[in-house]
Amino acid sequence: MKDLLDKLVKKNIAETKLGTVASYIPELDKAKKDALGLYIIDVNGNEYCSGDWDTKFTIQSISKIVTLMLAILDNGEEYVFSKVGMEPTGDPFNSIKKLETSSRRKPYNPLINAGAIAIASMIKGKDVRDKFQRLLDFLRKISEDETLDVNYKIYCGESETGNRNRAMGYFLKGEGIIEGDVEDALDIYFKQCSIEVTAKTLAKIALFLANNGKLSSGEIVITPRIATIVKTLMVTCGMYDSSGEFAVRAGIPSKSGVGGGILSVVPGKMGIGVYGPSLDKKGNSIAGVLLLEDLSSELNLTIF
Ligand code: DON
């Protein structure tokens, strides 16, 4: 297995030249463009890694699946999906256009920015600090890593540059989709995007979902139903407007982030974390996507 992973990482490093590192915040631009690595943990506890698996980067949009799990635990499935849909958009992750033009008057799904901001507004707590702390504690629990924390330089950058997200937040407040304080929802969203992880952290969270919401200790944290909802949305919406193509080519429920991470779940088999900060035009790790496609065909990991 180790030889296979080394071979696939080596093969796909060349692809990193064809992408670009996210630069909307100067801090993100510091990532090494040709970095590429992955970490795998199977359900028997075997761990395999290759390349830059221990480089720290921000979780970004991958956090959207974590907030979704906690929002459903806090509010129930019915309430959550009365405010946010379950359909892919076919549009970029930060698109505004369907918010007003569509007859449904709610964000299409929880994994686009508009949907994720609405989901962030649903986290329970006595104030914004407590709400984010509950989210961070939940992430630490499901990744079995107490050291996870926010990169405050990136958080400041997210907040300073996040005017498009702010516009969507205020629109959602006007429509009654966000019921609480809109600035609180945005603050939670900017902070959740700024949590630092490694490919290993992503593999741990993916393993938790591969085990239908069970930790390695046997503790059940979310219901199998919540795990199923999250994995299904990862297939249909997790790679944004590349989700269809990625489902055909790799067939692994996955969620990407502009920090360069991809979290991939092979149900009942393994959790995979990938890091490659050079991104394609849609905001997915350019070499990470190809690495997962290769891995899927070598190990026959497609769920279809
Ligand atoms: O809110 C944003 O636009 C960024 N902080 C995160 C977006 C992201 O990771 C989209 N993923 N591909």
CB distance 57 to 286 below 8 Å? no
Ligand 1 center from residue 45 Cα (angstroms)? 31
Residues annotated as part of the active site? 61, 64, 189, 240, 258
181-211 confidence digits (pLDDT tens): 999 999 999 999 999 999 999 999 999 999 9
The alpha carbon of 44 and the centre of ligand 1 are apart by a number of angstroms equal to 33
Average pLDDT, the chain: 96
Q: Is the pLDDT of residue 46 over 90?
A: yes
**Residue 240 near residue 282 (C-beta atoms within 8 A):** yes
Residue 303 pLDDT > 90, yes or no?
Answer: yes
Ligand 1 site, CB within 6 A: 60-61, 93-94, 113, 158, 165, 193, 256-258, 283
Query: What does the alpha-carbon distance between residue 230 and residue 254 come to, in Å, rounded to a whole number?
Result: 10
Q: What span, in angstroms and rounded, lies between the C-alpha atoms of 166 and 170?
A: 6
What local confidence, expressed as pLDDT, does residue 91 receive?
A: 81
96 pLDDT above the threshold of 90: no
Mean pLDDT of the 120-143 span? 98
**pTM exceeds 0.95:** yes
Contact 165, 194 (CB under 8 A): no
CA of 145 from ligand 1 middle (Å) equals 23
Q: Which residues of 261-291 are buried (b: 16+ CB within 10 A; e: fewer)?
A: bbbbbbbebbbbbbbbbbbbebbbbbbbbbb
Minimum CA distance residue for ligand 1 atom 3: 94
Stretch 31-58: mean pLDDT: 97
**Which of 61, 117, 156, 194 most suits a substitution to test ligand 1, by most atoms within 8 Å of the C-beta?**
61
Q: Is the pLDDT of residue 103 over 90?
A: no
Q: Which residues contact 191 (CB under 8 A, 6 or more apart)?
A: 132, 150, 155
- pLDDT at position 39 is 98
